[in-house]
C-alpha cells in the first residue's frame, strides 16, 4: 500500500508539471464549407469522371471530425440558392440540413438575397445558428459578430459580405441596404473583438483575391474563412500573420483547419480539404431531408423535353464562349426579335450532359427569376458593355458576356475598360452612333453585374418606371415579364427536340 501511494504521488506530480508546462495551450478544429448552392446530391462535373459531393456524406464526415477535438462548423455563404433542390423551396431545405448539422455560424453570400429580403428574414428565423454580417446596414436580422468558447479558447467570429452584392443580385433584392467596405468595417470592430477574444475569425464572402487584400490592409485578423470565388485551396494560404482558407464549392470538399492557441496567439496550424464522395456513411437525418425534397423536385421537373447531341458547357462560361452560352443568347435574340443579345455568364449555373434533357436540367442551368427584355443601345454603349464584360476575365467573374448576333475580339493584356478591339453586328462593323436593339435579361437591364451601359440606356427613358416588378420605358422594345427565361429556353428545346450547338468563334481573344 505504501509503495502504491508513492507511485500515485509520482504520477500526480508529473501530471501537475505537465499541466503547468502546457497551461494556456489548446488545440481546436475549424470545419468550413462555402458556395454550397443547394447541390445536395452527388454529381459528376462536366470536367471529371468521378461523382463528388453529397451533403449527407459531408455531414457524416463533419460529425466524425468534430468528435476528435473541440470544433466549430462554419459556412462562408451562398448556401440557399442555386440548385433546383433548394430553389423550388426558396432555401428552406438548406436551412433544415444546416440545423441538423448544428452549424455554429454563417455569413450570407450575395445569393442569399436572391429570393428577396422577406424570404431571407424567414430563412434566418428558421436557423438555429446566427447569420453574421457586420458590414451590412438596414437589415435587422443580421448580427455583426459572436464570441464562442471552444475548448477553452474564446473565438470571435465576424461576418463580412461582398460590397458587390447590389450588382450581383437584382437591385430590388437589396433596396434600402448599405454594404460598407470590408477593411473599414474590420478596423472599426477589431479593437472590441481583440479585447474580448483570444483569436479573431473573419467569416468572409468577398472572394479569395479580396481576402488577401483584406489581410494585407488590416492587421490583427487571425483567420479568414472565405467563400464567393469558389476557390479550391487544398492547403491554407498565409498573408502576414493571417491564415486564409476556402473549400471549393457544392459540398465537394469539407475544409479542415486545426490550430493550437497559446497566450491568445496561434502557435501552430495545419489544414486540408477532405474530398467528399458518395461512399461510406451518410448522416441518416440529413439524407432523409435530401430524399424528401428530391422527390418533390422530380415530381415537378422530371419531364423529358428533348435531347442534346453534345455536352452543353456551362462550366467555362466565365472564361470563354461556350455552346450553351451561344444557345441561350440565340434563343433570347430570336424571341425578342433583336439585332443582338448580350447576357452575363453568371446567370448560367451548370452544364447539361449529352443525352436526354429534362426540365430540371434547364432549371438548374437558369435558376434565377429573370425575364427577357430588349433595349435600344448605341454602338458606343454596346462596346462599353462588352468592355465591361471582359474587364475581369482573369478572375472568372460572372460579368463575362455570352453573345448572339455579334462578334468581337478583345485583348486581355490591355487595361480593363479598353480591351475590346473590334465589334461586328450581323457581319457589319459596329457604328458608334447607330442604334441597335439588344436583348438581355431584366437583371442586366437594371444595371446588374455592373453593366452600367444597359442601366443608363434603360433609365434614360423619359417614361422609365418599374410597375409590379416589370420595367417600362420608351427605350425598351421588348419586355416579356410573363415568362421566365428558363421557360422560354425549355419551350425552344421542346420544339426542336434535338439540339447540338457548337461554338462559332463569336468571342476571340488576342490581337489580330
Q: Which helix (H) or strand (E) holds 194?
A: helix 182-196
Tell me what the mean pLDDT of segment 12-25 comes to: 49
The whole domain housing 373 covers 304-509
Q: Are 391 and 490 in contact (CB under 8 A)?
A: no
Q: Which helix (H) or strand (E) holds 146?
A: strand 145-150
* 268 plus 354 within the same structural domain: no
E strands along 241-310, which residues? 242-246, 253-262, 265-275, 304-308
d(CA 231, CA 207): 8
Q: Are 354 and 100 in contact (CB under 8 A)?
A: no
* 69 plus 200 within the same structural domain: yes
Out of 241, 267, 292, pick the residue that ends a domain.
Answer: 292
Out of 247, 268, 292, pick the residue that ends a domain.
Answer: 292
Contacts of 415 (CB under 8 A, 6+ apart): none
* pLDDT attached to residue 481: 80
- Give start and end residues of each alpha helix (H) in 302-437: 323-336, 359-365, 379-389
Task: Return the C-alpha torsion angle 297, 300, 306, 311, nearest 10.
Answer: -10
Contacts of 251 (CB under 8 A, 6+ apart): 33, 36, 39, 40, 53, 54, 55, 58, 276
In a domain, 297, yes or no: no
* pLDDT attached to residue 6: 62
* Higher-confidence position of 291 and 172: 291
Tell me what the mean pLDDT of segment 185-193 comes to: 98
* 155 plus 32 within the same structural domain: yes
18 falls in which pLDDT band (50, 70, 90)?
Answer: very low
CATH number of the domain residue 417 falls in: 3.90.780.10
| Domains: count for the chain | 2
State the angle between helix axes of 92-101 and 55-68 in degrees (0 to 180), rounded to the nearest 10: 20
CATH number of the domain residue 242 falls in: 3.60.21.10
**C-alpha cell of 493?**
428545346
* 123 plus 201 within the same structural domain: yes
* 55 plus 142 within the same structural domain: yes
In a domain, 473, yes or no: yes
Alpha-carbon separation of residue 431 from 132, 382, 401, 434, 497 (angstroms): 49, 10, 20, 5, 38
The percent of residues above 70 in pLDDT, for the chain, comes to 92
Burial bucket for residue 200 (CB in 10 Å: 0-12, 13-18, 19+): buried
Out of 269, 292, 315, pick the residue that ends a domain.
Answer: 292
d(CA 444, CA 436): 17
* pLDDT attached to residue 11: 56
d(CA 464, CA 445): 12
Q: Which residue, chain included where needed, has cell 435558376?
A: 367
Highest mean pLDDT among 167-176, 273-282, 455-464: 273-282
**C-alpha cell of 242?**
493571417
The string of DSSP codes covering 432-489 is TT-EEEEEEEHHHHTTGGG-HHHHHHHHTSTT-EEETTEEE-TTEEEEETTS-HHHHH
d(CA 244, CA 227): 11
Q: Give the SS3 label for residue 362.
A: helix
d(CA 108, CA 271): 24
d(CA 360, CA 322): 21
**318, 264, 242, 296: which is closest to 152 by C-alpha?**
264
* 200 plus 227 within the same structural domain: yes
In a domain, 342, yes or no: yes
**C-alpha cell of 343?**
447576357
Residues 114-141: tens digit of each pLDDT: 999 999 999 999 999 999 999 999 999 9
* 37 plus 140 within the same structural domain: yes
Residues 67-118: tens digit of each pLDDT: 999 999 999 999 999 999 999 999 999 999 999 999 999 999 999 999 999 9
In a domain, 21, yes or no: no
In a domain, 14, yes or no: no
* 152 plus 40 within the same structural domain: yes
* pLDDT attached to residue 2: 60
Amino acid at each position: 500500500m505504501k509503495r502504491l501511494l508513492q507511485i500515485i504521488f509520482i504520477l500526480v506530480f508529473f501530471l501537475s508539471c505537465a499541466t503547468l508546462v502546457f497551461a494556456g495551450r489548446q488545440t481546436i478544429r475549424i470545419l468550413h464549407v462555402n458556395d454550397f448552392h443547394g447541390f445536395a446530391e452527388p454529381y459528376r462535373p462536366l470536367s471529371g469522371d468521378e461523382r463528388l459531393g453529397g451533403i449527407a456524406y459531408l455531414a457524416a464526415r463533419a460529425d466524425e471530425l468534430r468528435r476528435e477535438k473541440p470544433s466549430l462548423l462554419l459556412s462562408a455563404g451562398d448556401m440557399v440558392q442555386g440548385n433546383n433542390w433548394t430553389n423550388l423551396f426558396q432555401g428552406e431545405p438548406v436551412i433544415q440540413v444546416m440545423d441538423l448539422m448544428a452549424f455554429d455560424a454563417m455569413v450570407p453570400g450575395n445569393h442569399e438575397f436572391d429570393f428577396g429580403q422577406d424570404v431571407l428574414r424567414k430563412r434566418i428565423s428558421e436557423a438555429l445558428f446566427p447569420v453574421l454580417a457586420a458590414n451590412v446596414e438596414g437589415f435587422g436580422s443580421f448580427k455583426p459578430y459572436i464570441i464562442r468558447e471552444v475548448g477553452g479558447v474564446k473565438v470571435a467570429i465576424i461576418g463580412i459580405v461582398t460590397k458587390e452584392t447590389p450588382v450581383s443580385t437584382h437591385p430590388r433584392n437589396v433596396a434600402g441596404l448599405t454594404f460598407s467596405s470590408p477593411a473599414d468595417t474590420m478596423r472599426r470592430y477589431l479593437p472590441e473583438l481583440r479585447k474580448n477574444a483570444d483569436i479573431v475569425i473573419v467569416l468572409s464572402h468577398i472572394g479569395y483575391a479580396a481576402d488577401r487584400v483584406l489581410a494585407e490592409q488590416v492587421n490583427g485578423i487571425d483567420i479568414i474563412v472565405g467563400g464567393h470565388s469558389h476557390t479550391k485551396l487544398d492547403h491554407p494560404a498565409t498573408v502576414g500573420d493571417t491564415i486564409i482558407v476556402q473549400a471549393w464549392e457544392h459540398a465537394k470538399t469539407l475544409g479542415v483547419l486545426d490550430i493550437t492557441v497559446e497566450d491568445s496567439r496561434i502557435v501552430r496550424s495545419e489544414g486540408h480539404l477532405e474530398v467528399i464522395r458518395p461512399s461510406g456513411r451518410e448522416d441518416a437525418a440529413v439524407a432523409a431531408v435530401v430524399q424528401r425534397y428530391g422527390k418533390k423536385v422530380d415530381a415537378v421537373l422530371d419531364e423529358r423535353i428533348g435531347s442534346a447531341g453534345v455536352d452543353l458547357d456551362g462550366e467555362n462560361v466565365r472564361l470563354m464562349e461556350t455552346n450553351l452560352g451561344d444557345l441561350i443568347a440565340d434563343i433570347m435574340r430570336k424571341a425578342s426579335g433583336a439585332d443582338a443579345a448580350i447576357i452575363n455568364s453568371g446567370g448560367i449555373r451548370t452544364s447539361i450532359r449529352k443525352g436526354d434533357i429534362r426540365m430540371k436540367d434547364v432549371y438548374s442551368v437558369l435558376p434565377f427569376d429573370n425575364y427577357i427584355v430588349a433595349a435600344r443601345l448605341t454602338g458606343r454603349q454596346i462596346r462599353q458593355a462588352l468592355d465591361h464584360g471582359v474587364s475581369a476575365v482573369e478572375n472568372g467573374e460572372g460579368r463575362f458576356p455570352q453573345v448572339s448576333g455579334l462578334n468581337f475580339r478583345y485583348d486581355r493584356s490591355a487595361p480593363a475598360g479598353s480591351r475590346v478591339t473590334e465589334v461586328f453586328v450581323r457581319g457589319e462593323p459596329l457604328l458608334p452612333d447607330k442604334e441597335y436593339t439588344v436583348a438581355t435579361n431584366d437583371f442586366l437591364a437594371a444595371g446588374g453585374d455592373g453593366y452600367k451601359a444597359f442601366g443608363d440606356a434603360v433609365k434614360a427613358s423619359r417614361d422609365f418606371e418599374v410597375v409590379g416588378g416589370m420595367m417600362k420605358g420608351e427605350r425598351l422594345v421588348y419586355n416579356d415579364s410573363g415568362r421566365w427565361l428558363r421557360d422560354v429556353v425549355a419551350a425552344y428545346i421542346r420544339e426542336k427536340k434535338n439540339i447540338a450547338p457548337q461554338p462559332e468563334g463569336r468571342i476571340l481573344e488576342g490581337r489580330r
